Structure 1
């Protein structure tokens, strides 16, 4: 029964098995991963699949420090308090060496605080708020994905090229949405001082009244719309916006909308011409990504999603950090992760020593309809290091105690 329950929860002790023949130098290195599996399955299930694929790959190559990796996952249901409780269980009962994961930014911040208070290494895969590594950053917290600043930066750069001067914003009213809007406003205004922000909408996460939101935005007579909604909120917003003509003759810049997790459910209702960050999937033809996509499809009989890219890169980054540290002792791992370089399907990346932010890059492009489905077109990949502010700016944002 214990084995069955562990498999149901996603705790993949069995994932160590493929490498045990080659990696017999000691007990498994245990990664305790916490995520919103029931609350956000469109992203987190492909994410977990790819973590499993990466663990098997690492173990087949001999593990890390001659030891196999073991992945134990838990579901926080999108609640910060549950994530913190589960972190305590993983550390104290399961004796994990590394904490990882989280999807929502408020959950990531809660786990970062737990890591700081308990001096445990935590590697956030998906949470995007900049506070995680800047204002509320700490010595024990690293973050993989390109942040709201990084993604808003490229969207603001593209939006500045448009004739639109009157902008409105719509975002979920929690840490991620607030961070995204803050940076887009600041960065667009810096590039285009003639821009005005004439209104905003802040629906509750997962509870958007799309009709009322669209009506309110229409009444503001915008020329441009900056959107941070995702998941079912985005689907409802797009459908109501299409029905009411909100997007006609208006520019739209949108965080994450190019990710297939959010674009695919729209089908032939997907918007056209939006400037988006996202993931163009199997259109990426680099050797590293083609190998990853082929392995993922071969194992799961499904195309890789953005979550798949993140989960795969997360495990490989953790393996690289531990290998560089030469130990799973916490303080040595912190020093090992700082500046460590690792390969991802999108290209090489690292965890910057100055703020422990990953340099995984951003895909930016425009939405289009192809065969009655939404896709990203005219896309390009931008290395994360080229989207981050100067070290001087970062030092002013990050607490001195985080060193």
Structure 2
């Protein structure tokens, strides 16, 4: 049993990057160490490209001189998709590895758990991926910042398009945990505000990672909606689309879908990908800006494969940390927080800012439609939506966020 625990602990610690073969003591002296946590074994389709993204950024940061006159080092741990393991990893990173800040996490419930740890232990935490609005609003805290556009932001982008559809009868399907619940609630709120004539005729809440796609598809068909909001992703999305195609669920219906345009989730659908869904995503093959061209060239040169949305998130996370440490000139938590509030960062999607009011970045997303091109799924008719334009006012946020 002791040997099993030892092996499990060793598996959690993935690597320390870009500090050469120096001893731990030398690394502590020569590098600024930050801790990273993510669900690598639970959702590799997103987290592996994400890791490649932060590794590329780390190499670039250190090639340019590092931060504060030292190399930047990252100690990374796998939370296995479990909030308890994530908190254990966070504690070990701070106590044993002397991480000056934490970043990462994917699932919303895990992001909230690490955010609470950061609050309790007074540690800076950059939530890279969790999308729940709670992380910056209802459960937001002084120590937590978030990079990706939130559920509210993506829902606002999608609701803007959904409101143009003639459909009045809507049904929803989403994984039954914090992310899915939050996404459905805010989309319904925003779309109903734009279209008071909307009727919500049914909801399906399969367990994340364990969808019974046949039963879900049958139940949605029984609701007889004119449009469907989908929040399923990963392997669950593949099963849902396959059953929906087989049973004709999507014929004559509009579908609006969170995340489905991201290559991690769109590519596995292959020629079964539905056409005409309104989605958020990342059409890397169609973005032509100097910032993205430079990122794409560097990423493909290093990995000999195209990036995924996770690649952008990982890359931008480390670029944010490097900009933060450089501007703060200190690893003191309070100085880091003061510097991060209003911090501007260059990303492959263009410049972003971390808002002081709620610690949310203004990173945006691409909105478009799914299509098949030469038998492969792609996004078409897409446009970048600046996240700053899809956030509520400071006055509204002040009502949503607890006073500290």
TM range (shorter): over 0.9
Query: Within the alignment, does 1:274 sit opposite 2:277 as a pair?
Result: yes
Superposed CA deviations along residues 153-204 of structure 1, whole A, max 9, x for unmatched, are 1111100000000000000000000000001100000000000101100000
Question: Structure 1: 5+ residue runs without aligned partners?
Answer: 19-23
Aligned residue among 11, 18, 26 for 2:15: 11
Asked if 1:52 corresponds to 2:55, the answer is yes
Divergent runs of 4+, >6 A: 5-8
Measure how far apart 1:294 and its partner are.
Answer: 1.0
Residue number in structure 2 paired with 1:80: 83
- Flag the 1:220–1:152 CA change in 2: closer, same or farther, 3 A: same
Give secondary structure in 2 for the equivalent of 1:381.
strand
Question: 1:372 aligned to 2:358?
Answer: no
Q: Does 1:300 align with 2:303?
A: yes
Aligned pairs (5 A) from 1:211-230? 211-230=214-233
Q: Encode CA deviations 1:92-120: one digit per residue, 9 max, x unaligned.
A: 00001111100000000000000000000
8 Å contact kept, 2:12–2:77? no
Could you tell me how far apart the structure 2 residues matched to 1:33 and 1:371 are?
A: 39
* Distance in 1, Cα, partners of 2:45 & 2:334: 35
Q: Matched residues in 2 for 1:81 and 1:125: separation? A: 18
1:238-387 correspondence to structure 2 within 5 Å = 238-387=241-390
Normalised by the length of structure 1, the TM-score is: 0.95
Question: 1:304-329: per-residue Cα shift (whole Å, max 9, x none)?
Answer: 00000000000001111122212001
* SS of alignment partner, residue 392 of structure 2: coil
State the distance in 2 between where 1:171 and 1:6 align: 35
Do the aligned partners of 2:169 and 2:200 also contact (CA within 8 Å) in 1?
yes
Partner of 1:125: 128
Q: Which residue of 2 is the match for residue 21 of structure 1? A: none
Matched, 1:147 2:150: yes
- Alignment-derived partner of residue 109 in structure 2: 106
Distance (whole Å) between structure 1 residues aligned to residue 102 and residue 130 of structure 2: 14
Q: Please give the secondary structure, in 2, of the residue aligned with 1:256.
A: strand
Q: 1:17 to 1:6 in 2, by over 3 A?
A: farther
For 2:237 and 2:265, locate their aligned partners in 1 and report how far apart those are by CA, in whole Å: 7
Provide the residue aligned with 1:204 in structure 2: 207
SS at match of 2:383: strand
- The answer for the alignment partner of 2:168 in structure 1 is 165
CA drift of 1:7 comes to 10
The reply on whether 1:61 has 2:72 as its aligned counterpart is no
Instruction: Determine the structure 2 residue equivalent to 1:234.
Output: 237
Number of aligned positions between the proteins: 392
Question: Kindly tell me: are residues 382 and 352 of structure 1, through their superposed partners in 2, closer, same or farther at Cα, counting changes over 3 Å?
Answer: same
Structure 2 segments unaligned to the other structure (5+ residues): 1-5, 22-26
Q: CA 1:279–1:359 in structure 2 vs 1: closer, same or farther (change >3 Å)? A: same
For the pair 1:90 / 2:93, whether they are aligned, the reply is: yes
Q: TM-score, normalised by structure 2?
A: 0.95
- Could you tell me whether the CA contact under 8 Å between 2:12 and 2:78 is conserved in 1? no
SS of alignment partner, residue 16 of structure 1: coil
Contact 1:170 1:200 in 2 (8 A): yes
Answer whether contact 1:16 1:55 (CA < 8 A) is retained: no
